[in-house]
Amino acid sequence: MGLNIVRSSFMSAACMPDMLRSTRGRPVFMDLDSLLPPLDSQPFDGERLCLTDRARRALSMLSRVDRHLIVIAGRADISVERSQATRPGSLHTGLTAGFKECGAVLSGFFSCSHEPITGCHRACLCRAPMPGLLHAAAAALAVRSVESWMIGSTLDSIEAGHRAGCRTILLRGDEEWRWPPRRTPLHCVPGIDDAARIIAERREPTRAHESGRFV
């Protein structure tokens, strides 16, 4: 098994769509877990996703800015379990419906279905902390990942964003205390709605440790 890619305008998974020049602005990548409740809090149904209240507020804000909204399911544990619990196409259906309820458009859903290797998740180049999924999404949409944002719920997602040249926002919750430069976010915020507000307002300092923007 390999890379599963579903564009909002394409219904087939595991197929790279033709590169299309887009009129939308810089992409916003979001890891799947930043949008959903904890995996053990409710039964998981890919076609009937329950977005968190914070995610709904975030999508409502982001719907008013001219950006691609892209969901990445690329962590080696929770996201893989979510994405393998149902067909990638079903997840795409559920995400598309959830985005639409918030007035937003899902530009693409990208997942990696490579089986993780015990104790060596980095063997896969698609999955965080590697940037493969971000590069695949940027290529599919004919945009530059260096002109994008990455909202991540873990430091692995933040590192993947840095490797792809993205500006990064970490949602609080990761327990790693000392962050090396590659895993240091530009912003650290309590929830994805706070991240969306930063993007909508275009507050763009150079580095988190320089700007002190931890709110």
- For the chain, how long is the longest CA-to-CA vector? 44
Measured CA distances, 58 to 177, 180, 214 (Å): 27, 28, 18
Per-residue model confidence (pLDDT) at position 88: 53
**CA 112 – CA 83 distance, rounded (Å):** 8
Q: How far apart are CA 81 and CA 67, in angstroms?
A: 28
pLDDT value for 82: 54
Q: How far apart are CA 171 and CA 192, in angstroms?
A: 7
pLDDT at res. 73? 86
Closest CA to 23 of 105, 102, 95, 98: 105
Question: Are 132 and 102 contacting, i.e. CB atoms less than 8 angstroms apart?
Answer: no
What per-residue confidence (pLDDT) applies to 37?
87
- Which neighbouring-strand residues pair with 110? 5, 72
Q: Identify the pLDDT of residue 24.
A: 62
- Per-residue buried b or exposed e for 97-116, using 16+ beta carbons within 10 Å of the residue's own CB: ebbeebebbbbbbbbbbbeb
pLDDT less than 70: residues of the chain:
1-24, 39-48, 74-89, 115-123, 173-178, 203-215
Indicate the domain borders of the chain: 3-211
Q: Residue 191 and residue 58: Cα distance in Å, rounded?
A: 9
Q: What is the pLDDT of residue 188?
A: 92
Residue matched to tokens 């996703």: 49
Pick from 122, 141, 125, 208: nearest CA to 6 = 141
**Strand ranges (E), the chain:** 3-7, 25-31, 67-73, 108-112, 149-152, 167-171, 187-189
pLDDT for 104: 97
Q: Structure pTM?
A: 0.78
Domain covering 3-211 assigned CATH 3.40.1170.60 in the classification: no
**pLDDT on residue 209:** 39
Query: What are the tokens at 166?
Result: 């993205």
